[in-house]
Structure 1
Amino acid sequence: MQYFVVSVDMGSFHSAAEALITTQPNVSKIVKSLEDELNMTLLNRTRSGVIITPQGERIYAYAIEVLKNINMINEFKKGQEIETLSISSVPSNTLSFYLSQFYNANKQEKDIQLDFFETNVQNVIRRVHARKSELGFVYISKRSMSAFRQQIKSKGLEYNELTKAPLYLFVGKNSPLYRKKSVNETALKDIKLIQYHEKQFSLYNHLGHIKEDVIYNGENMSISYTNSDSFLTQLIKNTEYGCIGSSFVKNQYHELGIKAIPITSCEKSISFGYIRRKKDEISDLAKSLILYFDDIKRF
Structure 2
Amino acid sequence: MDIKQLEIFVAACDRGSLSQAAACLYTTQPNVSKNIRTLEHELGQPLLVRSGKGVHPTVYGKTVLEYARLIMRTAATITSLAVPDEHVSLRLSTYPSNMIARLLVDFYHAWGDGVHIEHREGTVEEISEDVSRGMSDLGIVYVAQKQVPTFQHILSHKKLEFHPLKKKSICVYVGPGHPLYHEESIAFSDLPKLKFIRGVRDFFSMEHHLERVSMGAIEQSVMNHVVYSDSDHTTVNFLLHTDVCSLGLNFMHQPYEQYAIKPLAINGCEPFLQIGYVRDPDRPVTTYDEWLLTHFKAML
TM-score bracket, shorter-length normalisation = 0.5 to 0.7
Aligned to 1:100: 105
Aligned to 1:258: 261
| Partner residue in 1 for 2:57 | none
Rate the CA distance shift 1:196–1:251 in 2: closer, same or farther, 3 A.
Answer: farther
The 5-angstrom pairing of residues 127-276 of structure 1 reads 127-209=130-212, 214-215=218-219, 218=222, 221-222=224-225, 224-249=227-252, 251=254, 254-276=257-279
1:84 aligns with 2:89: yes
Q: In 1, Cα distance between the equivalents of 2:220 and 2:207? A: 13
Calculate the aligned-residue CA RMSD, in Å: 2.8
Q: Residue type matched to 1:195 in 2?
A: R
TM-score, normalising length from structure 2? 0.63
- Identify the residue that residue 18 of structure 2 maps to in structure 1: none
Give the drift of 1:131: 0.5
Shift in Å, 1:169: 0.5
- Which deviates more from structure 2 when the two are superposed, residues 186-195 or residues 250-259? 250-259
Q: How does 1:30-41 map to 2 (within 5 A)?
A: none
1:280 paired to 2:260: no
Bigger radius of gyration among the two: 1
- Alpha-carbon distance in 1 for matches of 2:123, 2:220: 24
After superposition, the Cα gap between the structure-2 partners of 1:185 and 1:240, relative to the gap in structure 1 and judged at 3 Å, is same
* SS of corresponding position for 2:118: strand
Inter-partner Cα distance in structure 2 for 1:142 and 1:239:
32
- One-letter amino acid of the counterpart of residue 128, structure 1: V
Q: In structure 1, the residue corresponding to 2:99 is in which secondary structure?
A: helix
1:138 counterpart SS class: strand
The normalised TM-score by structure 1 is 0.64
- State the one-letter code of the partner of 1:89: T
What is residue 25 of structure 2 aligned with on the other side?
Answer: none
Cα separation, 2, equivalents of 1:224 and 1:138: 23
Q: Please state how far the C-alpha of 1:244 moved relative to its aligned partner.
A: 0.5
Q: In the alignment, residue 100 of structure 2 is paired with which amino acid? A: L
TM-superposition CA deviations, 1:14-43 (whole Å, max 9, x none): xxxxxxxxxxxxxxxxxxxxxxxxxxxxxx
**Structure 1 ranges of 4+ moved more than 3 A:** 209-218, 220-224, 247-254
Conserved 8 A contact 1:167-1:266: yes
Q: List gaps (5 residues or longer) in structure 2.
A: 1-82
The 1:216–1:120 alpha-carbon spacing in structure 2 relative to 1, beyond 3 Å, is closer
How far, CA to CA, are the matches of 2:265 and 2:253 in structure 1?
11
Q: Offset at 1:250? A: 5.6
Correspondence 1:289 to 2:277: no
